[in-house]
Amino acid sequence: MYLFVGFVGPIISTTSLNILALNGPDHVLHVVSAAVLIGFGLLADSPVVRRKSVNR
């Protein structure tokens, strides 16, 4: 949703569809937030490397 608002926001900013009162910094914030969230989602999905335990 953040990515959608980040890219559609500049298009609807000057129309009557701008019911959220979006402006330039809002668009940047939404795109950056989406990129960070996508990055964390991809990193969280990566497999965990486990080391074998050594009995002493």
**Does this model's pTM top 0.75?**
no
Q: What is the pLDDT of residues 4-37, one digit of tens each?
A: 877 787 888 778 877 777 787 888 888 999 999 9
HSE value, Cβ hemisphere, 13 Å, CA-based, for 54? 1
Nearest-angstrom CA–CA distance, 34 and 1: 8
Would you state the pLDDT for residue 46? 64
Question: DSSP letter at 47?
Answer: P
Structure tokens at 13: 């900013």
